[in-house]
Chain A
Amino acid sequence: MTGLPTPGLRSGIELVPTADGPQTAKEFTSDQEVRWCPGCGDYAVLKAVQGFLPDLGLRRENIVFVSGIGCSSRFPYYLDTYGMHSIHGRAPAIATGIATTRPDLSVWVVTGDGDALSIGGNHLIHALRRNLNMTILLFNNRIYGLTKGQYSPTSEPGKITKSTPMGSLDHPFNPVSLALGAEATFVARTIDSDRKHLTSVLSAAAAHRGTSLVEIYQNCPIFNDGAFDAIKDRDPSAASVIPLVDGEPIRFGPDGSLGLVRDQATGGVKVAEVADLGKGAEDSILVHDSRATDPTTAFAISRLTDAGFLHRAPIGIFRQVERPTYDDLARDQIAAARDQAAGEPTDRLNSLIHGSDTWTVV
């Protein structure tokens, strides 16, 4: 997997000042006591991020983490960078103001399935379509943790919770499908327990210039324990993880016995037994291309995620394409306007407030 942007294109962090020398995870760790429940998947993500940030090589003071409300949104307190623990669902909006005004900052949003997809759904999709230069880490535990166990917009239908004693009625969002539908330019999914994969995805997301949406499957040991156990099963016979690796045929299961092929009937993508494909099987298996301009195949692959209890899901970078970012364009307009304006700001202000129709009283 490559974490580098396509040569010649702008990186997500190219305008952010770099550190003078090597940094350590300790430097990125704040003095605040971490207060998640024992065994929470958030610890693993925090460790991974604290370990990854020194490798990013940016000045600590030029990194900003913004979060909303929820268990995962406590994240900024534990990193010794600039940070804001804001209000429920609004982190992408606040980060929009930060990213637009400051090209020299690396902007990160930490959010959860309730924060990003329920109360903050509107801000999420608009941040994705605008393509601001920031990375959104969406911790998906498929449950409301901080309010003690109600179903979330990613919970499987029929979920029995405190607020749904006879089972939840809602059809869930698939965050990856939603992001692709909003024409996000970078969409990935990873797992809290796979630090190597998580770190590689973070690296690619940070390098991407635009809004990167990273869905992180994250276990809640208190209210939804084991929600991702099937995915975490390393036994290939479970055939639960569909790995997405650029340039490689998408095969999984015991000895790669399963593969993704086009579904001629629906135009979508389906799982096939490689053995059943017969002659030319290798050619009919999809080769992953996250840089395909058209999001159709990425969306089709995202539909292979179980909506109910999770037995199988594609994992990796679904899509990473270049599109001008809102914040770069906004700054370009300001720069262009400034280039055209002559004179000192005070003189120009004076001329502005006078306008064209004045009269003088002596």
Chain B
Amino acid sequence: MQRTVTKQVKQLDRVIIRFAGDSGDGMQLTGDRFTQESAAFGNDLSTLPNFPAEIRAPQGTLPGVSSFQVHFADHDILTPGDAPDVLVAMNPAALRANLGDLPAGATIIVDTHDFTGRNLTKAGYTTSPLDDDSLAAYAVHPVDLTGMTIEAVKQFGLSRKDAARAKNMFALGLLSWMYGRPTETTIAFLEKRFAKVPDIRDANVTAYRAGWNFGETTEAFVVRYEIKPAPMKPGTYRNITGNLALAYGLVASGVRSGLPLFLGSYPITPASDILHELSKHKAFGVTTFQAEDEIAGIGAALGASFSGALGVTTTSGPGIALKSETIGLAVMTELPLIVIDVQRGGPSTGLPTKTEQADLLQAMFGRNGESPVPIVAPQSPGDCFDVALEAARIAVTYRTPVMLLSDGMLANGSEPWRIPDLDELPTIDPGFATSRNHGAGDETEFWPYLRDEQTLARPWAIPGTPGLEHRIGGLEKADGNGNISYDPANHDFMVRTRQAKVDRIAESLPPLEVDDPSGSAKVLVLGWGSTYGPIGAGCRRVRNAGHQVAQLHLRHLNPLPRDLGDILKRYDKVLIPEMNLGQLGMLIRAKYLVDAVGYHQVNGMPLKAAALAHAIADLVSEAEGHEAPLGVWGETVVKEHVQ
């Protein structure tokens, strides 16, 4: 018989939870469901999946640990959080692998089921940490999640192994109770996902409900937490990952331009999900071609562009290395092409499932010859949608390959996304050439390299257009008629013209918006890509501590916006945080002769707000000529928010 337990309800303004388990334990799914529940509830949120490159590393070992961190709040937040408030550890290895990230006082909910001799040894424990005082600094809740799951689903007659597999749903149910998450979406999800296997479906739903009920009735948990919905700009929202937003942005680019979308791609982590997603959207005229290699992927995409489609290729850093020669051909043939690099840890195979932004200089310069390529980068998962459209706009308008630099954190991380009104999206006009363009009377010819005066773009004349038959290729072109030319003066002119065309793109960019609330900051923090959230959070900490700092984030890396130089000169100090060893920093210093300072972290993980706040405060102190103490805003976990 169950007793009624009186539960306290505490108000929090934000919580960071990390679910950690073996890579076969379903932690990504658990985190994803908790995220969906939080999104549906109306919290702002940001997520950080973290998993090994191995599909199933040896069970119970440290390398096999997979985790999913979700930060949700009653106000607008920018990052998945520096350190978890709550760790859910499904086995000894998951506890050990994540303990170092926990601040003192953090809550640990641990599945005791696997804290036995062999599993402890595999995780490197000689004695159970649950039995000694090594976890004294934390609020530990040892619960036999697996045992209770098996008991709860007994009625379905599953094997012990299959029954135990539902333990992630038991854990999800418990946490959903603890944080007052709505349950309907997860139950609907489970019913759909396992519709064809009723036993498994029922076991998962039952385990989920059992987890919730356990929280409700047990004396082990006496506090529930309430995190109110966050105020957000009016609109309709959904939760979205960067790869999904990118895929949708590409579909939207096809619809807005009227061009059939052609993706040539070779599977690679962490970009493959874009290929998977686009392969579902054939009804939009999307062709997805899984090529024999990276080179064929981009080759086919370029061929499709030559034929009048919107050619796209998706990959990660190693794939870009292989595609370089074809990108050069696209520069020379001046055809629209979108090249998407979802960056991961490098060099070489590097860290396939971790994030990094160290491909900027590869995108910028990684080709033979003077080979300018426009570069754009999204700053958040939802922003991937807009940046995909921007890449398409530039590619089509200027007849050029465009590099889009996403990264592992954007690709797999998610956030609430205000769904745009389609009428507000840019229109992209292919403007195919339809008639000859040179000479008069009967002597007219088609010159494939005669340029638009404003954009310097050449005509896009696609096969099937009578009278415009022409040949293009990788050899240098004569200005205008496009015939092969080895003339020295012509080559010099064409090299400069290709550069000038890319530089002209800057004329089409909106003015930069500097976030400088006081208008009197002396320090500017400049960033690009997925560091937007951590930099913003770092700046907020510095401002909360009473100091002034400005933030500017670049969407266009090549060409750089025309007003950037003037903005940089307005500040005494410029800090450029990057997940590399200073690649944007090198470009900025070279181009503007600004003594920008770098902040570099290359550990495969996103930058952390607290560490950034210290780096910013140091520079503020230098610029202002006095100390710039951060107080509590310099601590990893800022306790102030607990109401």
Q: Is the CB of B285 within 8 A of A96?
A: no
Counting chain A CB atoms within 10 Å of each CB, the highest count among B286, B304, B305, B483 belongs to B304
Q: Is the CB of B236 within 8 A of A122?
A: no
Q: Is the CB of B419 within 8 A of A354?
A: yes
If A62-B463, A76-B471, A353-B252 are given as contacts, then 12 extra A-B residue pairs at C-beta distance below 8 Å, sorted by A number, are A30-B471, A61-B466, A61-B467, A83-B471, A84-B306, A85-B471, A87-B329, A96-B300, A98-B463, A123-B292, A348-B283, A361-B237
Of B40, B291, B303, B483, which is within 8 A of A66 by CB? B303
Is B437 interfacial (CB 8 A cutoff)? no
Residue numbers in B under 8 Å from A349 (CB-CB): 251-252, 255, 284, 422
Q: Is the CB of B307 within 8 A of A97?
A: yes
Q: Which stretch (B1-9, B130-138, B227-235) binds chain A?
A: B227-235
Residue numbers in A under 8 Å from B438 (CB-CB): none
Q: Is the CB of B281 within 8 A of A352?
A: yes
Is B612 interfacial (CB 8 A cutoff)? no
Residue numbers in A under 8 Å from B236 (CB-CB): 354, 358-361
Q: Is the CB of B300 within 8 A of A94?
A: yes
Shortest Cβ-Cβ A-B pairs, 10 listed: A97-B303, A85-B473, A93-B299, A97-B300, A337-B282, A341-B283, A97-B304, A94-B303, A93-B296, A83-B471
Of A85, A355, A361, which is within 8 A of B235 by CB? A361
Q: Is the CB of B463 within 8 A of A64?
A: yes
Residues of A within 8 A of B (CB): 17, 30, 32, 59-64, 66-67, 69, 76-77, 79-87, 90, 93-98, 100-102, 104-105, 122-123, 126, 330, 333-334, 336-338, 340-341, 345-346, 348-350, 352-355, 357-362
Is B260 interfacial (CB 8 A cutoff)? yes
In the bound complex, CA of A101 to CA of B470 (Å): 19
Residue of B nearest to A31 (CB): B483
In the bound complex, CA of A87 to CA of B238 (Å): 44
Of A96, A330, A355, which is within 8 A of B299 by CB? A96
Quick one: which of B275-290 are within 8 Å of A by CB? 281-287, 289
Residue numbers in B under 8 Å from A105 (CB-CB): 307, 463-464
Residue of B nearest to A354 (CB): B419
Of B239, B286, B287, which is within 8 A of A357 by CB? B239
Pairs across A and B, CB under 8 Å, 27 listed: A30-B471, A60-B469, A67-B473, A76-B471, A77-B473, A83-B471, A85-B474, A90-B325, A93-B291, A94-B303, A97-B262, A97-B289, A97-B304, A100-B262, A102-B307, A102-B464, A122-B292, A123-B299, A334-B283, A334-B285, A334-B287, A346-B255, A346-B422, A353-B420, A358-B236, A358-B419, A361-B236
Residue of A nearest to B296 (CB): A93
Residue numbers in A under 8 Å from B311 (CB-CB): 97
Is B264 interfacial (CB 8 A cutoff)? yes
In the bound complex, CA of A334 to CA of B278 (Å): 12
CB distance from B439 to the nearest CB of A (A): 13
Of A67, A102, A123, A338, which is within 8 A of B285 by CB? A338
Residue numbers in A under 8 Å from B306 (CB-CB): 84, 94, 97-98
Residue numbers in B under 8 Å from A90 (CB-CB): 295-296, 299, 325-326
Residue numbers in A under 8 Å from B309 (CB-CB): 97, 101
Quick one: which of B430-476 are within 8 Å of A by CB? 463-475
Q: Is the CB of B301 within 8 A of A97?
A: yes
Residue numbers in A under 8 Å from B282 (CB-CB): 333-334, 336-338
Residue numbers in A under 8 Å from B295 (CB-CB): 90, 93, 123
Is B302 interfacial (CB 8 A cutoff)? yes
Secondary structure dominating the interface of B: mixed
Residue of A nearest to B481 (CB): A31
Q: Is the CB of A84 within 8 A of B471?
A: yes
Is B199 interfacial (CB 8 A cutoff)? no
Q: Is the CB of A86 within 8 A of B463?
A: no
Q: Is the CB of A101 within 8 A of B463?
A: no
Residue numbers in A under 8 Å from B286 (CB-CB): 334
Residue of A nearest to B463 (CB): A82
In the bound complex, CA of A357 to CA of B40 (Å): 7
Residue of A nearest to B311 (CB): A97
Of B287, B308, B333, which is within 8 A of A84 by CB? B333
Residue numbers in A under 8 Å from B232 (CB-CB): 361
Residue numbers in A under 8 Å from B179 (CB-CB): none
Is B497 interfacial (CB 8 A cutoff)? no
Q: Is the CB of B483 within 8 A of A32?
A: yes
CB distance from B384 to the nearest CB of A (A): 12
Residue numbers in B under 8 Å from A76 (CB-CB): 471, 473
Residue numbers in A under 8 Å from B307 (CB-CB): 64, 97-98, 101-102, 105
Is B36 interfacial (CB 8 A cutoff)? yes
Is B606 interfacial (CB 8 A cutoff)? no
In the bound complex, CA of A87 to CA of B331 (Å): 13
Contacts A123-B292, A341-B283, A358-B419 given: A100-B39 contact, CB under 8 Å?
no
Of B289, B325, B329, B463, which is within 8 A of A100 by CB? B289
Residue numbers in B under 8 Å from A358 (CB-CB): 236-238, 419
Q: Is the CB of A77 within 8 A of B484?
A: yes
Quick one: which of B2-57 are within 8 Å of A by CB? 36, 39-40, 42
In the bound complex, CA of A285 to CA of B466 (Å): 51
Residue numbers in B under 8 Å from A350 (CB-CB): 422
Residue numbers in A under 8 Å from B304 (CB-CB): 97-98, 100-101
CB distance from A71 to the nearest CB of B (A): 14
Q: Is the CB of A86 within 8 A of B473?
A: yes
Residue of A nearest to B286 (CB): A334
Residue of A nearest to B461 (CB): A82
Quick one: which of B598-625 are within 8 Å of A by CB? none
Counting chain A CB atoms within 10 Å of each CB, the highest count among B283, B333, B468, B483 belongs to B283
Is B144 interfacial (CB 8 A cutoff)? no
Contacts A93-B300, A94-B306 given: A102-B40 contact, CB under 8 Å?
no
In the bound complex, CA of A354 to CA of B147 (Å): 39
Residue numbers in A under 8 Å from B39 (CB-CB): 357, 359
CB distance from B294 to the nearest CB of A (A): 10
In the bound complex, CA of A159 to CA of B185 (Å): 71
